[in-house]
Amino acid sequence: MTAGMNQVRKRFGSYGFRSGPLCAVAVIAASMVGVIGAPAAVAADAQSKQWYLDAMRVDEIWKTSTGEGVKIAVIDSGVNASTPSLKGQVLKGLDATETDGTTNDYDGHGTTIAELIAGTGEGGGLKGLAPGAKIIPMRVAFKEFEEKHKTKTTFDSANAIRAAADSDAKIINFSGGSVFMHAAEKEAVEYAHSKGKLFFAAVGNTGDEANKPGYPANYPEVVGVAATDREGQVAKYSQHGEVVDIAAPANDIPGWCDETFTKYCDGNGGTSAASALASATAALIWSANPDWTANQVLRVMFESAGRGDDWKPGTVSNYLGHGIVRPNAAINRGIGKPGDPDVSPLTNERTTAGGSADVGAPSEEGAKDDGADSSPPKSGAEDDGKDKGKDTDTVAAGSAEDSGDDSQLGLILGGVAVVAVLAGGAFAVVRKRRTA
């Protein structure tokens, strides 16, 4: 193992935490297994590893919607707006760390998330699922950043969320979190909800360890996103429980190795990447239906999500929530009904704003502005194989009318996929935090 790879593993550990009691940002991968060459060679190689794009049938989706007209606030380590894939994609944001006043990415994580959402793929960079969307960066501090700059950013996550709520971003993505709930952050999340924002957050990468519910994903107003692999199986590291509302692909997705932006690294994107793809899915649906509210977009996401044939109506999985995102099913096959614009599908309660996001628009600046389940399902390729075929039931996803669509790799996104769950049932009818 080279010194460089040791450093990469350090930066891309699993769900890191701050030294303080507030928000720690989840790093993008549970493990890294290799480095993809220098920028000129990187690109095509990196794009070829975005297996989920073909599985989702993005060519069909992009004929209808690319996410145009939708802005997404990315609360993370900042965004490098000068990467080829993000040129022209990044708007003016906020430096909630209160250090240098820029939103430059000091880690590489935030730029990866931004590219997964809205990258154009130019220069061979990562292609975003919603390349027509725009990114508003909201920079917060990772533990290493705090230590290096000796910052006291006690309220940076709360301030970033409030700024996102006051922007014209329709969607907020927070690919990070902490096991600690904080009053200021909770109030900021509630404020964003009152402003009609659709908030996605990674549930965390310690599902095979402590599996403690994390925040902001665990707030009732936030959509907690779990991670799946190529086969549509829950990733073994993905946290589970009532915190999970929906799932998205995450394994074997490359990302920037570090703040030098010289190469992408192979590995698992973790729930960070899953959250990004859920946010991008919402952008695609919202762009195709601009008059919908956040509640309606999310309800269609839930109803169109990939599930097994044995998935009982009205139930929610502690591992996949309502299922795995399927933007093509929602956009081109019309699966899912928007329903009441003012009722939250998370809580079944009436909301105050219903999803409107009519506030002032930031300007484009570029870089210079700068509970029921006690055992987890097996996780396909990530599992060591010793339990396969013995402790799991295979549940086919989708219905007969979906057969044949998006069937590549047996992914649950298309309707003929499989999802592994433990025998004995992995679905909870009643959830303490949210209703099914």
Residues noted as catalytic: 76, 109, 272
- DSSP letter assigned to residue 136: E
Gap between the Cα atoms of 244 and 213, Å rounded: 9
Give residue for tokens 């484009």: 364
| 3-state secondary structure (DSSP) of residue 199 | strand
Gap between the Cα atoms of 292 and 357, Å rounded: 11
Helix 270-288 vs helix 109-118: crossing angle, to nearest 10: 30
Residue 115, CB half-sphere, CA atoms under 13 Å: how many? 34
In single-letter form, the type of residue at position 403 comes to S
In single-letter form, the type of residue at position 269 comes to G
In terms of C-beta density within 10 A (0-12 exposed, 13-18 middle, 19 or more buried), how is residue 81 classed?
Answer: buried
Residue 213, CB half-sphere, CA atoms under 13 Å: how many? 19
148 touches 100 (CB < 8 A): no
Which residues have C-beta within 8 Å of that of residue 14, sequence separation ≥ 6? 27, 29, 30, 31, 205, 206, 237, 270
What does each C-alpha distance from 179 to 15, 190, 215, 219 come to in angstroms?
10, 18, 6, 11
| 3-state secondary structure (DSSP) of residue 48 | helix
Gap between the Cα atoms of 129 and 333, Å rounded: 18
Gap between the Cα atoms of 420 and 254, Å rounded: 24
Residue 393, CB half-sphere, CA atoms under 13 Å: how many? 14
What's phi and psi for 432, nearest 5 deg? -70, -35
Which residues have C-beta within 8 Å of that of residue 238, sequence separation ≥ 6? 203, 204, 205, 207, 226, 227, 228, 247, 250, 271, 274, 319, 379
Bridge partners for 246 per DSSP: 225
Tell me the chain's radius of gyration from C-alpha atoms: 19
